[in-house]
Amino acid sequence: MKAAVLFGDCDIRCADIPEPETRPGTVKVRVGACGICGSDVPRVLRGGAHFYPIVLGHEFAGDVVEVGAGVEGVAVGDRVSCAPLLPCRVCADCQRGNFSLCRHYGFIGSREQGGMAEYVVMPAANAVRCGRDVPCETAALFEPATVALHGILLNGPVEGLDVAVVGCGTIGIFAIQWARILGARRIAAFDLSKERMDFAMRMGADEAWNTREDGFAEQACGRTAVAAGFSCVFDASGCEATINAAFRLAANRARVCIIGTPTREVAFSMSAWELLNRKEFRLTGSWMSYSAPFPGREWSMVADYATSGRFVFDDHLVFKRFPLEEADRAFDLFRDPSQVRGKVMLLCGGEA
């Protein structure tokens, strides 16, 4: 079969490799589409892979073409999205159902062969079924959609509350949609790109604020129900500016959740940190997207809402598409990350 194989640092090429074999408890999937995640970029461009050669890709979907012995609940012909975590299931965190916190985990597409290939074999438990009409490209976006939902569910109810989402990349856009579905009173989006602000408005935000402009936080807070700030604040970017903005937007006793993962050092000024004291807001982090029973309601909700069309995977989410043969060109785009405005998709041969 064809696969985009990472042979070494910066050396990703389409190659012919043996098709993986179905084992008991696993399913074989013909992959339609596989997204490139921000976490894949250092694996390819900065020597960050766990081993070579490896087939990366954990944001993918396709059709089941074979099921192993003992598999129930997934059948040939099902359209499935991959929930890539392989938790150990025996550690204390796994026993509590906090699979995202497992420290002895495997991961499809970084520690195991992934979805940038025509076929992939994975445990049936990791195959999340959705409607046949859901395009593979859409189902390949389930993982980032679950990451946004996990943060929101961890942070607590948003119903009837003023919600701020800081950073309107893929995760931020998904957080806005979940906040809408879960009944937020008013959703304010924050970004420094006009294009992303407009997109946020199209995807369900009630207002969008440019964080480059002075006084944006005070003005936005002035429009909340109690005119004192947002009860729920989500950082979907993980950089110093967005985390600081989140602190400014929080109301007294607010709940602030950091979903974004920092890729550079983050420092807090004394006055920013003091906001945490003065407002007595609760600050939480969020990691991946799993809960019990595995893979969790994050995944069943995304599959249900995508199948019914209530959760919208707008075409604008996908920035560019490449066939497997051009995987190297797809990763080259990330040499200048500011050029990448949305998800880069690899089309893997199955129905996209």
Closest separation in Å from C-beta 293 to Zn ion: 15
Q: By C-beta, is 37 or 251 nearer to Zn ion?
A: 37
* Phi then psi dihedrals of residue 30, to 5 deg: -85, 115
Q: Does the footprint of Zn ion cover residue 91 (CB under 5 A)?
A: yes
Q: What is the spatial distance between Cα 208 and Cα 166, in angstroms, rounded to a whole number?
A: 10
Q: What is the spatial distance between Cα 301 and Cα 299, in angstroms, rounded to a whole number?
A: 5
25 torsion bin: left (phi>0), alpha (psi -120 to 50), beta (else): left
Q: Does the footprint of Zn ion cover residue 302 (CB under 5 A)?
A: no
- Taking the mean position of all CA atoms in its chain, how far away is CA 330? 19
Question: Mask: binding to Zn ion, 49-88, rule CB under 5 A, as x and -?
Answer: --------------------------------------xx
Query: Is the Cβ–Cβ distance between 292 and 99 less than 8 Å?
Result: yes
Rounded alpha-carbon distances, angstroms, from residue 57 to 125, 273, 314, 348:
18, 38, 21, 11
Q: What is the spatial distance between Cα 128 and Cα 118, in angstroms, rounded to a whole number?
A: 18
Task: With CB under 5 A as the rule, give the number of residues binding Zn ion.
Answer: 6
Q: Does the footprint of Zn ion cover residue 102 (CB under 5 A)?
A: yes
Q: By C-beta, is 254 or 346 nearer to Zn ion?
A: 346
Q: Which stretch binds Zn ion (CB under 5 A): 31-39, 71-79, 111-119, 205-213?
A: 31-39
Q: By C-beta, is 14 or 36 nearer to Zn ion?
A: 36
Q: DSSP string covering 28-87, please? A: EEEEEEEEEPTTHHHHHHSS--SSSSEE---EEEEEEEEE-TT--S--TT-EEEE--EE-
The SS3 of residue 269 is: coil
Q: Does the footprint of Zn ion cover residue 37 (CB under 5 A)?
A: yes
Q: Which stretch binds Zn ion (CB under 5 A): 29-37, 224-232, 244-252, 340-348?
A: 29-37
Closest separation in Å from C-beta 50 to Zn ion: 15
Q: By C-beta, is 164 or 303 nearer to Zn ion?
A: 303
Q: By C-beta, is 91 or 272 nearer to Zn ion?
A: 91
Q: By C-beta, is 110 or 224 nearer to Zn ion?
A: 110
Which residues of this chain interact with Zn ion, rule CB under 5 A? 37, 87-88, 91, 94, 102
